[in-house]
A and B are shown apart, each in its own frame.
Chain A
Amino acid sequence: MMKTARWMAGVTVAALMVAGAACGKKPPLEQPAPPPNAPSPPLVIARPPAPPEPIAEPAVATPAPVREDPIASASLDDLNRNSPLKPAFFDYDSSELNAEAQRALDENAAVLKRFASWTITVEGHCDERGTAEYNLALGERRAVAARTYLVSLGIPVDRLRVVSYGKEFPFDPGHTEAAFAKNRRAHFVITAK
């Protein structure tokens, strides 16, 4: 816009000078004495205006290739197969969150804040030692304890569905103390992203 204006101004100046030259060719009706020390008309060299500077189109900035976020781009199944959400383990016949479980939930809360669109099912599980019937309710308590803690860290409750599986789905089918410890847990499944 600025360049166009300057170019227009140049054209106007040139046109005025051509007009002035034409007038000067007419026979004068009287020859006035030239004014003393009349200043010479300013010498203007008429020449076409300089072409405008080529307008350089701003180069499209090709962004530096972004490294794909493996978490953001993974399918739900892949995410859950190698979940960024850690299980929270419980003591025998307990739904209290011990320090280790709280640490796991702290990390999970950070993940859930980073991926704020995810919705999660919090599964409650038990080892095989209690009864099948009571364990449904115990698993529920564990899942609710985990959910309550996540909510306290600012995760909206409507992103966290709770389901208890009692002792129906042990993660380790063994019958050892170590297997039992793995089976007493709140397990997190990403259901939407």
Chain B
Amino acid sequence: MFRTLTVTAMSGVLAVAVLGARRGAQQPPPASQPPPPGSQQPTDITTTITSEGGSIPRLAIPDFIAIGAEPDVVAAAKTLGQVLWDDLNFEHEFAFIPRDTYASIPRATSFADVPFNRWRELNADGLVVGTVQKTASGIRVEMRLYNSRTRQSAYGREYISTNPRLVAHTMADELHASQRALRGVARTKLTFDSDRDGERMSGTVEKRDNKEVYISDYDGENQTRVTVGRTLNIFPRWSPDGRSIAYTSYRRGGANIFISNIYQATLDEVTKGPDESWLAAWSPDGGRLCFASSREGNGNTNLFIVNRDGSGLRRLTNHPSINTSPTWSPSGTQIAFTSDRTGAPQIYVMSVDGLGQPQRITAGEGYADKPTWSPAPYNEIAYTARAGVNDIKVIDMATREVRQLTFGEGNNESAVFSPNGRHLAFTSTRTGKKQIFTIARTGKDVKQITRSGNNEHPDWSRGPQ
């Protein structure tokens, strides 16, 4: 999981060909290109910045140097520094020299006049210096991470793009990988559903707003609608390859599972009736979906597993109760789910082959739902616990220790893990309407992602693979 990304072992220069990003839903992901001819200073050896005291390294990230005075280059320089700082700060793998102290230090105009001694006075272990200049088709960005003691470049890359934010996200992921052996989340994507468009749902006289599936960057930028239904399109779930979204749609009247292939703008129907199928969850290999359905019409809800193309349907649970909210273990061998077979809803784990009895894992809760299994190396299940209001808790599957992440600030539910397991996204009413927030797995760093309309039921993906 935390191996160094192969990109850091490649020689020198990574060119990033960039999508036009605002309409991310229609665009292919960035594709690596061969390094442009004549690029300079390939870094064949990546060294690691360390702190003298053994604590996390302290970085300074002054504004990137705009080469030229064009307004878009100046703006790109500002965006690069700010987004890179935000991305690195999100993981707390570096400490930062406070930005308000930077003003006392002369601004470099190139890599040749970096005032290393002044940065050492501020006790910086590392210094990120970057330049940005205009090209025929966009911008060229060069970034170097210097060891401020040795004044050696520990890491360096060159990027060609039209999108400064994506360049900064790429830098952040590469710095985390090369310096901290961490898979960062800077280029990850969220999905959620939203009623922000205020369109009336068709076929009803009630005042009901439709809900449509949106995607965004992990930091809430580039929020883009990907479904058009005038209906309920809810509970979106990224496919493991980050190119498709399965969701619960009422476009046929009752609820069914659909898949939008968001880069092809095509739609697949997984459950073509009977109605009342919800809450699809992808198997880790992307080949199957587990979902809940009350298709027998007797009021019970049970779990089913189906191939992605709708074939091979089989029943997983067969119990006269509610069995819902499935989530796969990272290995794909187990399913955690909610059942009220003993009265109130509780979290259970069972084998994907359906053999053996489900094992209950929540002990001290009066009401628990929406389990979500963390990625490795953590082995945790986050869930919603109800005691007056809903709050997010996490249970360690090895020790069964429970920790609570939210504490009654509004209603908090529908948590999912980030692809590296270090963060969660969830729905909260703490600011009024339902909004998406992110939070560190420690319970710190609550950050609001959405602000327009009601936004719910998030999921978090590595992005298109």
Considering only residues 125-170 of chain A, those with a C-beta below 8 Å from chain B are: 128-134, 136-138, 140-141, 144-145, 148, 161-165, 168-169
Q: Do B413 and A164 touch (CB < 8 A)?
A: no
How far is B458's CA from A97's CA once the two chains are assembled, in angstroms?
Answer: 34
Nearest-Cβ distance from residue A25 to partner chain B, whole angstroms: 96
Segment at the A interface, from B3-11, B104-112, B169-177, B200-208: B200-208
Instruction: Write the chain B residue with the least CB distance to A163.
Output: B254
Residues of B contacting A95 in the complex (Cβ-Cβ under 8 angstroms): 299
CB distance from B216 to the nearest CB of A (A): 20
Contact A169 B411 (CB under 8 A): no
Given contacts A130-B367, A131-B386, contact A144 B297 (CB under 8 A): yes
Query: Whole-angstrom distance between the alpha carbons of A133 and B390 in the complex?
Result: 12
Partner of B205, one of A81, A121, A132, A161: A81
Per the bound structure, the CA–CA distance linking A163 and B390 in Å amounts to 25
Q: Which residue of B lies closest to A76 (CB)?
A: B205
Q: Which of B206, B254, B386 contacts A130 (CB 8 A)?
A: B386
Give CA–CA (A170, B204) in the complex, Å.
Answer: 14
What's the nearest-Cβ distance from chain B to residue A119, in Å? Answer: 12
Query: Residue on B with the closest CB to A134?
Result: B369
**Interface residue total, chain B, C-beta cutoff 8 A:** 40
**Does B275 interact with chain A (Cβ within 8 Å)?**
yes
A168 to B427, CA, bound (A): 14
Q: B205 and A137: CB pair below 8 A?
A: no
A163 CB contact (under 8 Å) in B275, B322, B325, B384:
B275
Is the Cβ of B254 less than 8 Å from the Cβ of A132? Answer: no
Say yes or no for A120: interface residue by CB 8 A criterion.
no
Decide if B338 is an interface residue (CB 8 Å cutoff).
Answer: yes
Chain A: which residue is nearest B324 at the CB level? A137
B439 at the interface (CB under 8 A from A): no
The yes or no answer to A98 lying at the interface (CB within 8 A) is no
Q: Which residues of B contact A162 (CB under 8 A)?
A: 254, 275-276, 297
When C-beta atoms are compared, the residue in chain B nearest to A170 turns out to be B208
Q: Is the CB of B208 within 8 A of A169?
A: yes
Contact among B294, B298, B299, B456 with A132 in the assembled complex (CB-CB below 8 Å): B456
The answer to whether residues A169 and B206 also contact, given A136-B255, A140-B276 and a CB cut-off of 8 A, is yes
Chain A neighbourhood of B276, CB < 8 A: 140, 162-164
Say if the beta carbon of B211 comes within 8 Å of chain A: yes
Interchain CB contact under 8 A, A168 and B234: yes
Measured CA separation A165–B255 after assembly (Å):
9
Q: Is the CB of B205 within 8 A of A168?
A: no
- Contact of B240 with A by CB under 8 A: no
Residues 295-321 of B contacting A (Cβ, < 8 Å)? 297-299, 301
Contact A132–B250 (Cβ < 8 Å): no
A107 contacts chain B at the CB level, 8 A cutoff: no
Tell me if A91 counts as interface (CB < 8 A to partner B). no
A163, B413: Cβ atoms under 8 Å? Answer: no
Residues in A neighbouring B457, C-beta threshold 8 A: 132
Residue pair A140, B299 in contact (C-beta under 8 Å)? yes
The answer to whether B253 and A163 touch across the interface, beta carbons within 8 angstroms, is yes
State which residues 384-419 of B face A: CB under 8 Å.
384, 386, 390, 411, 413-414
Cβ–Cβ < 8 Å partners of A81 in chain B: 205
Complex: how many Å from CA A142 to CA B239? 32
A130 to B325, alpha carbons, bound, how many Å?
13
Say whether B253 contacts A132, CB under 8 Å.
Answer: no
Closest to B275 in A: A163
Q: Which residues of A contact B292 (CB under 8 A)?
A: 136-137
A133-B322 contact in complex given A145-B299, A168-B211, A169-B206, C-beta closer than 8 Å: no
Complex CA gap A89/B279 in Å reads 26
**Is B278 on the interface with A (CB-CB < 8 A)?**
yes
B370 at the interface (CB under 8 A from A): yes
Confirm or deny: B345 has a beta carbon within 8 angstroms of a beta carbon on chain A.
yes
B287 CB → nearest A CB, Å = 23
Indicate which residue in B208, B234, B254, B294 contacts A161 across the interface (CB closer than 8 Å). Answer: B254
B256 to chain A, nearest CB (A): 11
Which residues of chain B (254-270) have a CB below 8 Å from chain A? 254-255
**Docked-complex contact A133 and B250, CB < 8 angstroms:** no
- Chain A residue numbers with a CB within 8 Å of B367 are 130-131
The answer to whether A189 and B456 have CB atoms under 8 Å apart is no
B211 CB contacts on chain A under 8 angstroms: 168
In the bound complex, how far is the Cα of B205 from the Cα of A121, in angstroms?
A: 13
Tell me if B414 and A131 are in contact (CB < 8 A): yes
User: Interface readout for B359-395 with A: 1 if CB under 8 Å, 0 if not?
Assistant: 0000000010110000000000000101000100000
- Residue of A133, A144, A148 near B338 (CB, 8 A) is A133
**Could you tell me if A132 and B413 are in contact, using CB atoms closer than 8 angstroms?**
yes
Given contacts A134-B338, A171-B206, 10 further A-B contacts (CB under 8 A): A121-B253, A132-B413, A133-B279, A133-B338, A140-B301, A144-B297, A148-B299, A163-B254, A164-B294, A168-B211
Q: Can you list 30 A-B contacts with CB-CB less than 8 angstroms, sorted by A residue number?
A: A80-B205, A129-B390, A131-B325, A131-B367, A131-B369, A131-B370, A131-B413, A131-B414, A132-B413, A132-B457, A133-B235, A133-B279, A133-B370, A133-B384, A134-B338, A134-B340, A136-B278, A136-B279, A137-B292, A137-B322, A137-B324, A144-B297, A144-B299, A161-B254, A162-B275, A163-B254, A163-B276, A164-B294, A168-B234, A169-B208
